[in-house]
Amino acid sequence: MSDKLGEIIKNTLAAIESGKEEIFFIAETSRNETLRLTNELSQLKSDISEIISQVDAQEKVDRQKRMMLMEVNRSFQKYTQKEMIEAYAEAKDAQVTLQLLQSREAQLRKRRDELERSLNQMRATIERAQNLMTQVSMAISLLQGGIEGALNFQCHEQRQELGLRVIKAQEDERRRVAREIHDGPAQTLANIVLRLEIAGKLLEYDPSRVKAELMDLKNLVRANLQDIRRIIFDLRPMALDDLGLIAAISKYLDNFSETYGIECELLIEGSEKRLFPTMEVALFRLIQEGITNVAKHAHSSKVKIVLNFQDDWTSARIQDYGKGFDIDSTMQTPGEHFGLIGMRERVEMFYGRFSLQSCCGEGTIIEFSIPSRLEGGDKP
């Protein structure tokens, strides 16, 4: 029965992976089409602006020619027959030219509206594809790393509790990402759009300042790209998949130390081994949350992380040398200490062990252990 179920899961994973590649292809194709449509729309708007100017100018010519024709008709005795014919021909030509320009303007506006609708559809397709990619990735992760553990739950209440915790973790992560994007890249992009409009106006009045403005914008875009890459790294560090847990933690600690000016020491005990993806992510998040608490609350110039790989357990120890705190009073006010409580709950989700030691003025030590399960190996 177990072998049959394993085969079913294997086939399901293969089908999902294939679907994920198709979704990625759709997303990339939509992005390329969006870029093409955006460029075409930009050129089209420039053409519309140009033809509007031509229509305005031709309307003035048309009015002048019609007024001239009215004057000739009203005072026909002053003009020769040739002059009257020329006035009529010029008025007619001006009217035809105006109609052609107006017709062209209407065609361009119609095409612009079609492009804008197509762009909105492409963006909606990209958004749906990204949402599907997230859901598929989550499904793959759960199947790869959590299916065996889920099958071992004999109690319905335990399965329900796990599901609620997973949902809560997902919602918390979505809120965090939304907040980071709103406070970071979204604000920067709005500033970039505003400054691009200013640069466009400077082209008309002070072209010499445009180059400096564009250089500032270039630096702003680079900084925004770094923020986006950081958010992506926080969501799912690429090094975690490619190089393993230690490489991902080392990279994160380098960025952390550079950002906060806190010295980070990482010690490895035992031999590193690849765990199930969900467990590696859990360990990474626990260490991430632990040192984030150091930056926010400890006022410590140094943090020491010890990661210990054992046969049956993988454990970590996070020690700072800051101000410390009273554990009893802190844990009794959970509304202000979601970080520590979230760490404990994440450990308990994997049936691990969590301990906290702290004393005012003497720093803090956080320790946790999670049962190890090697990929393709036995359960702990």
> What is the predicted pLDDT for the residue at 326?
82
Domains recognised in the chain with CATH numbers: 1-151 (1.10.287.2610), 153-235 (1.20.5), 244-371 (3.30.565.10)
Question: What is the DSSP secondary-structure string of 47-76?
Answer: HHHHHHHHHHHHHHHHHHHHHHHHHHHHTG
Per-residue model confidence as pLDDT tens digits over 126-161: 777 766 766 666 566 555 554 444 444 444 555 556
**Predicted local confidence at residue 321, as pLDDT:** 93
pLDDT digit string, tens, across residues 279-293:
888 898 889 889 988
In 10 A of CB 216, how many CB atoms? 12
Structure tokens at 309: 């790989």
The DSSP code sequence of 279-318 is HHHHHHHHHHHHHHHIIIII--SEEEEEEEE-SSEEEEEE
Q: What is the pLDDT of residue 267?
A: 95
Q: What is the pLDDT of residue 141?
A: 58
Q: What is the pLDDT of residue 150?
A: 47
**Residue 265 dihedral angles phi and psi, to the nearest 5°:** -115, 125
Structure confidence at residue 120 (pLDDT) = 86
Cα separation, 16 vs 359, whole angstroms: 50
Q: Could you report the average pLDDT of every consecutive run of 10 residues in the chain (380 residues)?
A: 61 67 75 84 88 91 89 82 86 89 89 87 78 64 51 50 60 68 74 79 78 82 75 64 83 84 93 82 87 86 94 93 82 59 80 90 92 49
